[in-house]
Structure 1
Amino acid sequence: MTFVGGGARMSVHPTLSFDTEIQRAVYEYIEQHGAVEPDELARSIRLESEPSHSKPARSGSYTESICPSMDDLESCLEALETQGYLTEADGKYRVALSTTPKTVELEDGTVTIRAAREEDRHGVIDTMHEVAAEGTYIVAENVATQLERDSALVRANENRSRIFFVAVFEPETEADSDDPRQAAATTDAESGSRVVGWLHIDVNELPSLSHTAELTVGVASDVRHNGIGSHLLEYGLEWAKNAGYRKVYQNVPATNDGAIEFLEANGWHREGEHEAQYRIGDEFVDEIMLATWP
């Protein structure tokens, strides 16, 4: 499971090599906005061009901003898909992240673990806030706040890389087992599917630390103890390994016994601690540093 983009892995400085300026402009717009329809691209993309029937300005040559033709735009999107930079789903283009979904069967439904889509943003943020509200997951709370301010869930540019995987719960319904025609008529909203877990990988901006990545992972309280967290962690670490990261780390308050036990049970090691790193309520709490080498 690897990021596909001109043969490059998703890193702090991905290799973004485009054949034309329109390809660069289209990729950058989609990367900044998460999921974009072709009509929006046609309205938003502007290219600099020299006017063909104008007198030169006294100060010298000048350019004007023009919209690419639909033919040029369609050709550009096709090329970016072929090169692995973008993928299309439900009529929208987004940064390509080539992964294979994983299914976990529960007694009352199914959980699918997959790469996150822009449409998952609110579900991810809500789940993060729910977990952070327990008071022991400071990093998750900070990431949720960043997502509320940012324009896209997944980022992959020359300055930063941030990726999300999600666990989406689909409850079993009577239509699933009794009437296939009724099942086919059931919409996503009616099905009750929701994001119940996330795994987030973020890369340090310094090139000297680009072999490392910070990870957060969490699962909604009502579906815990079903192995979802372990499946998410395995899924994300497999991606990190294939993407070339050598070390993945996470720092948590010493009071977060559940997270520490979970990570250590999955092969993570303590690297040290920062004394009184957090203030939670009226208490100063140490920070435990954990890491693994995928």
Structure 2
Amino acid sequence: MGAIERPAFSSEDRKRIYEYVERHGTVKRHKLREIVELPTSEFETHLDALTADGYLREDDGTLQLALEFGAIETYEENGFEFTIRPARQRDFEGLVETIRDVTAEETYVVAETIAEELLYENAVNRHNTVKSRMFFVATVAGDVVGWTHLDLPQVEQVRGTAQQTVGVKETHRGHGIGGKLLARGIEWAEANGYRKVYNSIPVVNDGALEFLTMHGWDTEAIRRNHYTIDGEHVDEVMMAYEI
């Protein structure tokens, strides 16, 4: 199942099973069976269909969304190796830690909001009839050190645009990780028919604004006094990349 496809189900029971997994990130097969309160044969039939249709996947008895985000890619620069891949639920703690590491060093309000959403929902990827959220992560020796996130609205009028965030831990900068993450998100958006991605940055975050500008992003709009940071009103710079 692609993240731009609106979920559709042939029965309410099948929808109920999918929505529970979608809201909770992962769930053990036997626990899900107890929660949905269906006869075993019906439960197995619905679950097999959801798996066959690409809505859910199962790893060692644990169910999660089966969104198709792309391949795993490994890069090496002067002996430094990192991997960029689709994020999974098992990346939850490392992802939140990485976002908070970045936002502790620089003002990135949208990323802070994403971290809070992750903690509130306890789910990395979301995909329902209202919106879809996906992440790619950068890892070094298996540890998450960077991310890029795409927020993908399902409402028809705005389905051509996506919000993107990106960040790398300060200890792992200088190796091109941020540029690769940014490009990976844009490449995915282009391959899936999006015409524009945007990123909203406080004007005081000079590093992020310079980074996006260097990678071909343009200032689309400025919202005056949009944030209150350290008691001061601060403008928001809305950056965009036309695909």
TM-score when normalising by structure 1:
0.76
Provide the secondary structure at the position in 2 that maps to 1:40. helix
For residue 243 of structure 1, report the CA deviation from its aligned partner.
2.3
Aligned: 1:18 with 2:28: no
How far apart, in 2, do the equivalents of 1:89 and 1:232 lie?
26
CA distance in 1, matches of 2:77, 2:48: 39
Task: Please name the residue that 1:258 is paired with.
Answer: 207
Alignment of 1:117-266 (within 5 A): 117-170=88-141, 193-204=142-153, 206-266=155-215
Structure 1 residues 72 and 108: alpha-carbon distance in aligned structure 2, compared to 1, 3 A threshold: farther
Q: 1:101 aligns with which of 49, 69, 72?
A: 72
2:31 counterpart (35, 40, 43): 40
Residue matched to 2:86: 115
Cα drift, residue 274 of structure 1: 1.7
Amino acid at match of 2:7: L
**RMSD over aligned Cα, in angstroms?**
2.0
Question: In the alignment, is the contact (CA less than 8 A) between 1:97 and 1:115 conserved in 2?
Answer: no
User: For 1:18 and 1:165, how far apart are their aligned partners in 2?
Assistant: 27
Say whether 1:80 aligns with 2:50: yes
Contact 1:118 1:152 (C-alpha < 8 Å) held by counterparts = yes
Give the distance between the partners of 2:106 and 2:81, measured in 1 at CA.
Answer: 29
Instruction: Report the secondary structure of 1:74's partner residue.
Output: helix
Answer yes or no: is the 8 Å Cα contact 2:6–2:154 preserved in 1. no
The TM-score, its normalising length taken from structure 2, stands at 0.91
Kept in 2: contact 1:197–1:229 (CA 8 A): yes
Amino acid aligned to 1:246: R
Match of 1:81, as an amino acid?
A: T
TM superposition shift of 1:227: 0.9
Query: Take 1:38 and 1:109, find their aligned partners in 2: how far apart are those partners?
Result: 39
Identity percentage of aligned residues: 41
| CA distance in 2 between partners of 1:87 and 1:45 (Å) | 18
Gaps of 5+ in 1: 47-66, 171-192
SS class of match (1:133):
helix
Which whole-Å CA distance do the structure 1 matches of 2:77 and 2:51 have between them? 35
Structure 1 stretches (4+) deviating beyond 6 angstroms?
none
Q: Which amino acid aligns with 1:134?
A: E
Q: What residue number does 1:178 align with?
A: none
Give the Å deviation of 1:228.
0.7
Alignment partner of 1:91 is 2:40: no
